[in-house]
Structure 1
Amino acid sequence: MTDSPFSVRGSVLQVSVTGPAGTAVELLDAAGAVVRTGEIDRFGDRLALADLGVTDGLKGLGGLVFRHLEPGAYTLRLDGEEAPVTVLDPFVLPDDFDARVRGQRLDEGYGYVEVRDGALLSVGVSFPDRARWGDGPYPTLVQYSGYKDAKDDFATGDPANENILNTEANLALHCGYAVVGAAIRGSGGSEGSFLLLEPIQGTDGHDVVEAVAAQPWVARKRDGAPKVGMIGRSMPGYEQLLVASYNPPSLAAVTPAAVGGRPYGAAGRPGGVVNVALARGIAGWQVDPVDPPGGIPQVQPPRFAPGGWDDWVAERIAGGDEVCERNQLLRGQAVDAVPAWAFVDQEEGGVLAHADGEEWAARTHVPTLVLGAWQDQESGPWFTDLLDRYPDDTVVRLAAYNGTHEETRFPLAAAQWLEFLAFFVREELPAFPDAAARYLDEVTAYMFPEGLEVRFDHWAGTTFDEALEAYRSSPPLVVWFDNGWAPGRPPGYPYAAFSVAFDRWPPPEAGARRWYLAPDHRLDAAAPGEGARPLGFHYDPSVRPRTSKGDAPDVNHPCVEYDWQPPAGGRGLQFATPPFDRDTLLVGTASVDLWLRSTAADLDLEVVLSEVRPDGWETFVQAGALRASSRALDDERSTELLPWLSYRRDDVAPLPVGEFTLVRVPVPAAAHLVRAGSSLGITVTAAGGNQPHWELDAQWPEGVDAHGRKVVVDVAVEAGMASSVVLPLVHSWVPRDGHPRPDLPPRDALRRQPSRRWRPAGLEVPAPPPEPEPPVPVSVRLKRTAPVRFAARQRNRALGLKQRAARAWVLAMRKVGLPPRVGLAAVVGLLAAGVGLALGRLLRHRR
């Protein structure tokens, strides 16, 4: 299309075109059949009106992208012209790949990398301090995402430029690595439009790695291979999983942190329950870079707005960067991923069906260290779902701990990814230079005023080859316990007391232990007998806060005070095991198997697993959610400890009316030390209020159904329908390093594990009568100054008397056809009237 106003690009599984706005476009396959139609948008005009410093040359222009195409030859027909275009296969490199991609040269500073389809992606290249590390070549790390990775101040080593998402990159720089920040397609100065974790982001990342590895300033390993690895958490972590699945031959290792597996059922839709905060937080701000979605302000500003991820782009364009300017034209073709999380009740065929971390892991051969926090407030704990999906010949290691989404910025986790990269990329003993220590102290001093140190003393006195052999022969899965309660450290600081290593996941050492739900808030080892009445509660999300964050300024601080509230009276069920007689580890996933009946056809449950301490507090361990209509299991992958939900369209089903049905609530993986004298507890409520950032959008938010009736949940606890919980416990272990502290941690010292008073709120209610009116739950409010303990027998007996009296009242009122509360009001009124009449007669008699 010589001298054409249109620019056409055949890409990986897609075709894009830019040109005059409003132009009708048709895409024809090799047989001449029209397979897609569309119209070029008017995004160029929006760019000009957005005060981004763009030139008038973009006015009247726009873009169009056709996605999800099969590889092969096509023809693009537009405005009377036809252009041949080839859709690329993601697993096949073009013949000129070496010349165009590996043959290009990158310099220090901001620039562009050409990828296989000819698109230009923005990158920033930073070298370590030459006075300390010389003129190169350097081992090199790539961070690749839709954040500010390509901005020229992303990796400078200057604490003044710290933005929380570049801590790891700057620590690496101070450790002697060159750092390359790369902006994914549709972000920063890169060409294209954005769809969360689509395949082309993986092939683009492959090409960036290969282009970087070919540079003369990249060091080589002893076998001549480039010393190139990848770093980053959250989106950069997911991008590592995706890029590694295309196995760039020059990629020595990846360290994905704060990641997960399948797209549906994890953080964006745990158990099928909508998490509106995460959906908008990750995908919403990518959709329209100028205005917030639907005009509604979000937590994250639009990309081009002040504080947005691309707020630096306007300055580049105003400074004359014509490539950056032209690359913005396709931004109007970004795809909103939110509907896939918020409005689709299964995972097949959605716009995020491609974003499957388990599928990526299954074809990855790059050495991988997965890092994750069990209580990650953004990505959640589903990183362990990846571990058994990797091929047997792939080097895969795990570093897991309690803590936050950002733990890789801090010593416990930072030491793990630096160590892994030292062995698999740098080929040197791990070290943490003084410059890195000073940087870390300065950027975290507002949280950790006593300073943070990273040490590798355990490798002192060994050669690299000796250390490498010891590292590779050690068990690959390492779990740290009591992060925030390490000996010699202030409470809440990011150091663990001890670690335990395992050979595989789930650990075979973790045996399945089952307890049965019982009255009086008990979990009994013995199965129940016949005749026990169901336990019930009023399903009422309105009494729970949307999140547990409260006024906490930052969950990364030590000893954060959360607003993690106990369930309100009658709005949940709580149970606890007998106290443990010895220290025990909980390691792995759990299953809460409820025989459940509800007055609603569907609802959203959440189960909290906690340590119930002998001092009357409970400490959060993990939470699992479930939309009841998504309860169907994949039998091939489900186990006693892991109810693997199918999320298949044909499996979605309402709860049967008036009948008990088995509902297995999956509790994601966790690891926690349960000290002797403590118990393990579970809490069952409507979903919500247990996470600081997630907002689970539970059904029936006011606790009433479409007819205004209370939504009531009954749980059976008798033989034949014995509700239970099965937990993964390790009774005997040898610490890899460190040792447990004998004393209980101070409340809230364990990172991202809040505490609250243990107040069992679930109350026994009678089985619902056969009439259509739903049962009314009995609600007994407990004094806040005197929490009910599961072992307080006298208090439980008193509570039982109140319950029996309440039950008798409910049944009596129903016999005369009155609702309980109306009946009470009527009786009180009659009594008052009777007393008044009697007093009147007495006074008249005395006269």
Structure 2
Amino acid sequence: MQDRHRHAQRAKRKRWCASLFGSALALVAVAPGGFAQGVAPGNAPAPGDANASHPMAQVQHQPFWAKRLTGYLAARDGTQLRYSVLLPKGKGPFPVIVNYSGYDPGSIGGAAYLDDNTAMAVNLDRTLVEAGYAVAGVNARGTACSEGQFEFLARSYGQDGRDAIEFFAAQGWSNGSVGMANWSWAGMSQIATAAERPPHLKAIAPGMVLGDARLDSWAIGGVPAPNFVAGWWDFLHGRWDSALQSARAEGDNRCVAQIATNLKTAETARVADILTKHPLRDDYIEIRHLGARTGRIEVPILSMEAFQDEATTPREDYYQDNLNLEKLWFVQTNGPHDMYESLVFRKTLLGFFDRFVKGQDNGFDKGPHVQVWLETSTATGGRLANENSQPRLVVNAPRYPAAVKPVSFELSSGGKLVQGGSDGKNDGRGEGRGEGRGDDFAYPLPGPTVNADFLSDTWGPLPTDWRKGSLAYTSAAMDDTLFAYGSASADLWVAATGSDADLQVTLTEVRPDGQEMFVQRGFLRLSDRVQDDSRSNPLRPYPLDRPETMASLTPGEPVLGRVELTKFAHLFRKGSRLRLWIDTPSQYGGNGFAPYSQPQTITVLHDAQHPSRLLVGQWDQASGVTPKLPEERPACGTILKQPCRPDPLASR
């Protein structure tokens, strides 16, 4: 029975690895239409990129390094952290790129790694090594082969990162110039480490991070989201399994014994237990608020995020706002968590490291600081999908933040979404603020899932009684193309018959062909509705999210709930309509919610005293040179993480 259970657990972990962090996507076609701003179909791989000759389909990799070094480095308190280094050909010394997380980076180059059984991307490491960088991986304390007590995103995490950077800088094979790469947990390590200001750290390139673990993931909009954490714990153990496979193949008994120890001691710090003991923001949770310390970062940063990120969401605590914007370069795209693997992005990544780690005068710092990828798609499935992802269009801005103009859509009677002026006033066409007494929906009847199946980008089926459990507001057909960019805010006046409730807001495009395309989602626990005035603006709600500012509802008394729709970029073309769905939170990507459960009726108001509205940002041409926007709509099913479905309201 124990063997059967162990095999079942391994199979479950493997499914999580393949589905969530391996991004095994359904086969889709490249969207029709031309490319712009230097992005073209069939771009050759970046110089030094071995993907042309070593595609991901070839699962068994061959060593691509000249020499591999393994060992342990000492953190400031003496804790021994396991590392592995892949050296390039040549005499050296070499610049260094560090991969640091709690997965399996301390075992890169081992047997499991060569079987493509690793958290990050073998081919990315290959690209860096062949470009002349030493690639160093180090495991966080208490994970895989490293000593110490695991504690997710503790302050020691950044301090250990600083010690690792300085260790690698001092080695004889290193020239003392160190950068950091990779995404997810390995992206969080970068902002945590850079905030500690290691003297030899030259640049970081974090992707898809949790800047504020609570609002970005654990309780999005204040709504508890426990499902992802539970599955992630299994995935984490699966990564330690890969380190164990390599250690056994190498006869590394020290590592084998340490993994056995960590599997026991880490159970005392399971993230699920953390959330049970700390359900609201307190000092313990705030320590894990990495974005609060990013103002200390001094080195250049190349940041990447995916708008429909199914794992960490694209919110990232807006940590980029805290940086020296002259040293920030930002790539944003539709798509999944692992878009960091894209070969198009890899060219940008190499140019960034060559400029700031190698010190080459390649002109990277003179280019645009913001790249927005639109309608990104891929021509392949499986592990190749992310690498071969390409945007249909790239729009640049000279610096962050790109300028936008707020556009208002007022909720009105009859399920109408009435476009108004930028301040929500009359637009000059005889249409103004919404009207009508308000609309009711039954709570809690969850809305449909979106992208819950990691093997494909899909809407889930419409739930039973969905007409009772949801409201929809739809605009008139657009007269001109609206290039919507950035975060958006659904400012909703609501009254409930209970003492609290959770809202889910979904923005879609209703196309002339009768298909409805997913754009973005947002969530809010109404008791967590009080805003942080220092960080909120008309397009970005930012909850204070402190226990002392939370307030239950008085039954029947209207309150204003500002629901944040996290960042996105989307072309609502002429003839399309915007739609806003309001219902109870359901699963979105890996985020499964535990909404407030009291059955009740919720009323969304839209009268003169309670003007509910949607505010979206319109890309301002003053942000930079905007190429001609393609008029032809991409085919449904081709745009990553933005699935279509037949319009469920068409029969009306």
Normalising to structure 2: TM-score of the pair? 0.80
In structure 1, the partner of 2:535 is 637
In structure 2, the partner of 1:278 is 228
Q: Say whether residues 1:585 and 2:483 are aligned partners.
A: yes
| Deviation (angstroms), 1:528 | 5.9
Residues 308 and 626 (structure 1 numbering): CA distance in 2 closer, same or farther, change over 3 Å?
farther
Equivalent residue pairs, number: 569
**Which amino acid in structure 1 is aligned with residue 192 of structure 2?**
L
The equivalences for 1:122-271 within 5 A come to: 122-128=82-88, 130=89, 134-153=90-109, 160-163=115-118, 165-167=120-122, 168-219=124-175, 226-271=176-221
Q: Flag structure 2 segments of 5+ consecutive residues without an equivalent.
A: 1-5, 7-66, 421-425
| Deviation (angstroms), 1:265 | 1.3
In structure 2, the partner of 1:518 is 412
Q: Is the 8 A contact 1:507 1:587 kept in 2?
A: no
| Deviation (angstroms), 1:136 | 2.4
| Deviation (angstroms), 1:759 | 2.6
**Deviation string, structure 1 residues 501-521 (Cα, Å, up to 9, x no partner):** 23454422x111111101222
The equivalences for 1:629-778 within 5 A come to: 629-689=527-587, 691-700=588-597, 705=598, 710-730=599-619, 732=621, 740-760=629-649
Match of 1:502 among 386, 392, 397: 397
Q: Say whether residues 1:617 and 2:515 are aligned partners.
A: yes
Residues 511 and 326 (structure 1 numbering): CA distance in 2 closer, same or farther, change over 3 Å?
closer
Once residues 102 and 385 of structure 2 are traced to their aligned partners in structure 1, the CA distance between those partners, rounded to angstroms, is 35
TM-align CA RMSD: 3.1
Once residues 583 and 697 of structure 1 are traced to their aligned partners in structure 2, the CA distance between those partners, rounded to angstroms, is 37
SS of equivalent to 1:332: helix
Q: Say whether residues 1:380 and 2:326 are aligned partners.
A: no
Q: Is the 8 A contact 1:313 1:324 kept in 2?
A: no
In structure 1, the partner of 2:442 is 538
SS of equivalent to 2:285: coil
Once residues 256 and 726 of structure 1 are traced to their aligned partners in structure 2, the CA distance between those partners, rounded to angstroms, is 29
In structure 2, the partner of 1:484 is 377
Q: Flag structure 1 segments of 5+ consecutive residues without an equivalent.
A: 1-49, 51-106, 220-225, 286-298, 429-464, 761-786, 789-794, 796-847
Residues 262 and 255 (structure 1 numbering): CA distance in 2 closer, same or farther, change over 3 Å?
same
Q: Is the 8 A contact 1:561 1:754 kept in 2?
A: yes
Q: Is the 8 A contact 1:374 1:402 kept in 2?
A: yes
| Deviation (angstroms), 1:190 | 1.1
SS of equivalent to 2:552: coil
Q: Is the 8 A contact 2:411 2:417 kept in 1?
A: yes
Q: Is the 8 A contact 1:172 1:179 kept in 2?
A: yes
**Deviation string, structure 1 residues 753-799 (Cα, Å, up to 9, x no partner):** 11122334xxxxxxxxxxxxxxxxxxxxxxxxxx24xxxxxx5xxxx
| Deviation (angstroms), 1:366 | 1.5
| Deviation (angstroms), 1:735 | 7.4
**Which amino acid in structure 1 is aligned with residue 366 of structure 2?**
S
**Which amino acid in structure 2 is aligned with residue 346 of structure 1?**
L
The equivalences for 1:21-420 within 5 A come to: 108-128=68-88, 130=89, 134-153=90-109, 160-163=115-118, 165-167=120-122, 168-219=124-175, 226-282=176-232, 285=233, 299-300=234-235, 302=237, 308=241, 310-312=243-245, 315=248, 319-321=252-254, 325=258, 328=261, 332=265, 334-341=268-275, 344-349=278-283, 351-383=284-316, 385-391=318-324, 395-420=327-352
Once residues 692 and 529 of structure 1 are traced to their aligned partners in structure 2, the CA distance between those partners, rounded to angstroms, is 34
Once residues 717 and 329 of structure 1 are traced to their aligned partners in structure 2, the CA distance between those partners, rounded to angstroms, is 55
Q: Is the 8 A contact 1:498 1:736 kept in 2?
A: no
Q: Say whether residues 1:599 and 2:554 are aligned partners.
A: no
Residues 318 and 485 (structure 1 numbering): CA distance in 2 closer, same or farther, change over 3 Å?
closer
**Which amino acid in structure 1 is aligned with residue 441 of structure 2?**
F
Once residues 737 and 155 of structure 1 are traced to their aligned partners in structure 2, the CA distance between those partners, rounded to angstroms, is 47
SS of equivalent to 2:224: coil
Once residues 586 and 507 of structure 1 are traced to their aligned partners in structure 2, the CA distance between those partners, rounded to angstroms, is 12
**Deviation string, structure 1 residues 534-564 (Cα, Å, up to 9, x no partner):** 111112335645x6434x52x5xxxx44536
Once residues 221 and 273 of structure 2 are traced to their aligned partners in structure 1, the CA distance between those partners, rounded to angstroms, is 16
Range 314-323 or range 589-598, more displaced: 314-323
Identity %: 26
* RCO comparison, higher one (Cα < 8 Å, 6+): 2
Once residues 565 and 498 of structure 1 are traced to their aligned partners in structure 2, the CA distance between those partners, rounded to angstroms, is 32
Once residues 329 and 529 of structure 1 are traced to their aligned partners in structure 2, the CA distance between those partners, rounded to angstroms, is 59
Q: Is the 8 A contact 1:189 1:327 kept in 2?
A: no
Once residues 537 and 623 of structure 2 are traced to their aligned partners in structure 1, the CA distance between those partners, rounded to angstroms, is 27
| Deviation (angstroms), 1:112 | 0.9
SS of equivalent to 1:683: strand
**Which amino acid in structure 1 is aligned with residue 348 of structure 2?**
Q
**Deviation string, structure 1 residues 141-183 (Cα, Å, up to 9, x no partner):** 110111111115359995x435352333233223332111101
**Deviation string, structure 1 residues 198-247 (Cα, Å, up to 9, x no partner):** 1111111111111111122223xxxxxx3321111100000111011111
Range 377-386 or range 732-741, more displaced: 732-741
Once residues 397 and 533 of structure 2 are traced to their aligned partners in structure 1, the CA distance between those partners, rounded to angstroms, is 26
Once residues 136 and 530 of structure 1 are traced to their aligned partners in structure 2, the CA distance between those partners, rounded to angstroms, is 68
Once residues 156 and 422 of structure 1 are traced to their aligned partners in structure 2, the CA distance between those partners, rounded to angstroms, is 29
**Deviation string, structure 1 residues 358-377 (Cα, Å, up to 9, x no partner):** 22211111211111101110
